[in-house]
Structure 1
Amino acid sequence: MKIARLAALGLLVFSPLALAHPGHAVHGFSAGFMHPLTGLDHLLVMLAVGVWAGKIGGAARWQLPLTFVVVMALGALLGMTGYSLAPIETLLAASVMALGVLLVVSFRLPRLLQLGLVALFAVLHGLAHGAELSSGQGAYVMLGMLLATALLHGVGVSLSASRLPRLVQSVIGCTMIVLGACFLAV
């Protein structure tokens, strides 16, 4: 469990700010794998989904991450077709803030609403990723992104399963709210 915590901390410390959006060249499996790890907004959302799923417990530990990965793939495919949402950066920043709130505030939501929120966040991140994929290597890039996303969800669930103190979850959530606001300001 200590290794998972150190890995998560290392990812946060060495990740540059929101650079995982349209306008960056992305080619091949390794670039796709690194993509979610090199944008702080993506990194935080992927980890937070895992922490939130672990906090909820039970079947949510696999349902929320699986929903995110599947819907993100569908969003990426949609993005590859040219579909986009004009304020995508604003929506991504809002997803960081919303997940921060979900980590800070402890209120029970129906499972369908939990899955719906995760799906919404996933389709937004998928659209942002898909807009960058080249048609020639899109499958390899997407495979790398999906694998990195699933691994980050797993790290988040592991952090939560290690009895992550409530205070630490609140600090992570508050940090996400502040960073999301900073992303909105940029």
Structure 2
Amino acid sequence: MRRSVSLVLISAGLAFCASPAWAHSGATLQGGFASGFLHPIGGPDHLLAMVAVGLWGAFLGRPLVLILPVIFPTVMAVGGVLGMLGVPMPPVELGIAVSVLMLGFMVAAAFRAPVWAASLVVGLFAVFHGYAHGQELPVAADPVAYSLGFVLATGLLHVAGIAVGMLNARPLGRVVTRGLGAFIAAAGVYFLYAAAVA
């Protein structure tokens, strides 16, 4: 469990050393399963939001610990279709930055939301993440394999967040999880600033 915490904290720390929005830079995608799998891990905004979904789900407990990691990739796929079709959306980078900020805040504040509200929040943010990646998907060499890799990596990031969130049952674990939530929220502020001035 300590190894999981260390990996998540190191990954989160690297977020401040990277340019925002790496997970959806608009650059040409190589395509294929491996490329899709590595894509969300290389984007600190996506990585932190996915970990935060898992952390919040673990804090909220059943049934949300199981529901949220299913809602996010499902609705993200809908957002991806909207992105591929070019359906007009509010500024996507701002939506993604707000998702990192708010999900981190929910964890840091130990905010207990009812099932419907947590599902709605996570689903709304998933649309923005999916839309950004959907805009890039048509240039992938193998969109289907790329999508499978991307969804699998997203699910594993949720699981990593849940694993760390399970520490919340212990006093020191609560400090770690809430501290990580505060860090994610702070990263969201940085992403929001970077998106606003871009």
Of residues 77, 82, 102, the one that matches 1:98 is 102
Q: In the comparison of the two structures, how many residue pairs are matched? A: 186
* Equivalences for residues 37-186 of structure 1 within 5 A: 37-134=41-138, 136-163=141-168, 165-186=173-194
Conserved in 2, the CA contact under 8 Å of 1:80 and 1:133?
A: yes
Percent identical? 38
CA contact (8 A) 2:164 2:177 kept: no
CA distance in 1, matches of 2:89, 2:129: 11
Query: Relative to structure 1, is the Cα distance of residues 41 and 115 closer, same or farther in structure 2, using a 3 angstrom cutoff?
Result: same
Q: 1:9 to 1:181 in 2, by over 3 A?
A: closer
Q: Deviations over 1:127-171 (max 9, x none)?
A: 011111126522111111100000000011111113372222222
2:167–2:174 contact (8 Å) kept in structure 1: no
Query: Letter of the aligned partner of 1:179 in structure 2?
Result: A
**Cα offset, 1:84, TM superposition:** 4.5
Whole-Å separation in 2 of the counterparts to 1:158 and 1:106: 16
5+ residue gaps, structure 2: none
| Matched residue, 2:7 | 7
Q: Which 5+ residue runs of structure 1 have no aligned equivalent?
A: none
Give the stretch that moved more between structures: 108-117 or 20-29: 20-29
- Give the aligned residue type for 2:81: L
Identify which of 15, 21, 25 aligns with 2:24. Answer: 21
**Residues 108 and 181 in structure 2, CA contact (< 8 A), matched pair in contact too:** yes
1 or 2, which has the higher helix percentage?
Answer: 2
SS in 2 for 1:140: helix
TM-score (norm 1): 0.91
Residue 86 of structure 1 and its aligned partner are, at CA, apart by 4.4
So what's the TM-score if we normalise by structure 2? 0.86
Summarize the Cα distance change of 1:134–1:57 in structure 2 as closer, same or farther, 3 Å threshold: same
Shift of 1:11: 3.1
Counterpart AA for 2:155: A
Whole-Å separation in 2 of the counterparts to 1:145 and 1:180:
22
Is the contact between residue 103 and residue 173 of structure 1 (CA under 8 Å) also seen in structure 2? yes
What is the distance in 2 between the residues matched to 1:2 and 1:173? 17
CA drift at 1:47:
0.3
Measure how far apart 1:67 and its partner are: 0.5
Structure 1 stretches of 4+ with a deviation exceeding 4 A read: none
Question: Alignment RMSD, CA only?
Answer: 1.8
What is the Cα deviation at residue 106 of structure 1?
A: 2.6
CA-to-partner distance for each residue in 1:79-121, whole Å, 9 max, x for gaps?
Answer: 1222242411111111111111101113322100110001011
Partner SS for 1:165: helix
C-alpha displacement at 1:10, in angstroms? 4.1
